[in-house]
A and B are shown apart, each in its own frame.
Chain A
């Protein structure tokens, strides 16, 4: 992405105003200009991150979360010790480039097809045979002598081991984004630090491209070597080829065609804040989505901005600071909607689940609530799926 470099005086003033406040015993967290918003955050008394974004009218918690993720992304690929104890600044500026690919991914936002960076919950895909795939994965990670394994389909988690699910939400999200951000290749051996689980001792992330769009990932220690584990791939995964193909065929809908959807639904985003998983689809009904008034990118953009508007204003999420806005109400809102020129949006909270649906304007406004509840139940009450 070509981004012009900020002039040095601008960077200087951005930093100076923050530092000036700190010296006066105040903490400058954010400010808005006519068309933009600026947020500052310090990490471990070592680094300050400053983000500038067009004003999206959403709560500041989303920008603070972005900065937290950028920091965690740097820990993931560079290690916390190296970030909190910078000895040679010039060298640091050169070495930190190893994180840019992932950080760019976090900043690109609108061009992502996934939602994890904003929901802080990992994107998943529901395949028809999750249990069978789970068994193949468990066998493979055992060969890797590691409890951490996951199978990614089109950049989303299809199945993962229990230990993998026990990683923190940030770790789950960043690993998903990292695998998708790196240059495509047959296999990788990437040193990583787990921002919460192991910020100072590196592990190894091994990934194997099984077929187009399907990658098996494990996190392990010094052994086995990349080539040793790679030589085991055919033995463990060849019997699963048909299953993997059918898993990939579920994308980009991201859930099996056997699950019917209301014709008025253009796209949706379903988040479980307890398990840190989210499911989204903008190819709900018409297959490739051609001929619809809104293209896939536009639908994602609407869902993203609607999610950001609702979380921190009406609903809260595990993201720090998102509860401030909703706590100003005397009650806890469970439903909210908007009606626009070309579309309508409805959001509903139910236990750990939050459902955001983008409807065509054809749906009567009074029907949105019941269709949303019904759709939410379709996914949460089905025993074959765990979201």
Chain B
């Protein structure tokens, strides 16, 4: 499995001046969450930063009610729904996330398009699944578990799963802001490991693909 932080410089976003400045551009004014952009809008990146933008399509997969829509909302900076609702059909959301490619010393803006389809719609309508799979770059498999003392899933289970299947297991907590006890800055800290790892794997895939090509 790809070593954590072997392609992308994860510290750069937190410690480097340019990195933190970029992250500020992408955040809402209160600094709590990422900013959302309509299809005609784009992040205002200072022109001297010369960012190459790379676009990826990621499909979100999981059982009905596992939290696909909530996870997408959490990652893109919109409000996590208070109650569970079956997603009627397919919805796409965009998240912009900066990264620094270590061996190139180059900064990249990842444009990740998340495809989230309701379980019932996937089964009932023929066109939804092909729309999700068409030119997809990665798949996020979602499952839900508690990591409490007596939970069914242990840290060891997770490590085993990671090494058996050679996929990283990422953790995210989807809480509505009314239930969120953490500080505002914590909100970004919570999602950055997920986005960092996702971006690193997407970049890795491109490196491998271009090597083959």
Contacts and interface: CB of A to CB of B under 8 A. Distances in A.
Interface in B27-41: 36, 38-41
A209 B85 contact: no
A44 B124 CA distance: 23
A306 interface: no
A188 B134 CA distance: 16
Interface in A190-217: 190-191, 202, 204-205, 208-212, 214
B165 interface: no
A182 B131 contact: no
B40 A190 contact: no
B40 A185 contact: no
Interface stretch (A17-25, A94-102, A160-168, A323-331): A94-102
A77 B89 CA distance: 9
A225 B40 contact: no
B38 A211 contact: yes
Given A98-B88, A182-B88, A183-B81, A230 B39 contact: yes
B73 interface: yes
A92 to B, nearest CB: 12
Given A191-B125, A202-B125, A225-B131, A214 B38 contact: yes
Nearest to B121: A191
B7 to A, nearest CB: 27
Contacts of B118: 98
Contacts of A204: 89, 127
Nearest to B87: A183
Contacts of B128: 189, 191
A97 B88 CA distance: 10
Interface in A239-258: 241, 244
Interface string B72-97: 11000010011101111111111000
A89 interface: no
Interface size class of A (residues with CB under 8 A): 35 or more
Contacts of A226: 90, 92, 131
B40 A233 contact: yes
A191 B86 contact: no
Interface residues of B, number: 33
Contacts of A191: 88-89, 121, 124-125, 128
Contact of B120 (A95, A227, A230, A233): A95
A184 B78 contact: yes
B189 to A, nearest CB: 23
B69 interface: yes
A191 B124 CA distance: 10
A238 B89 contact: no
B86 A100 contact: yes
A234 B81 CA distance: 29
B73 A183 contact: yes
A68 to B, nearest CB: 20
A214 B36 CA distance: 13
Contact of B91 (A97, A101, A187): A187
B85 A101 contact: yes
A153 to B, nearest CB: 12
Interface string A62-87: 00000000000000010000000000
Interface of B: 36, 38-41, 69, 72-73, 78, 81-83, 85-94, 113, 116, 118, 120-121, 124-125, 127-128, 131, 134
Interface of A: 1, 77, 95, 97-98, 100-101, 182-191, 202, 204-205, 208-212, 214, 222, 225-227, 230, 233-234, 237-238, 241, 244
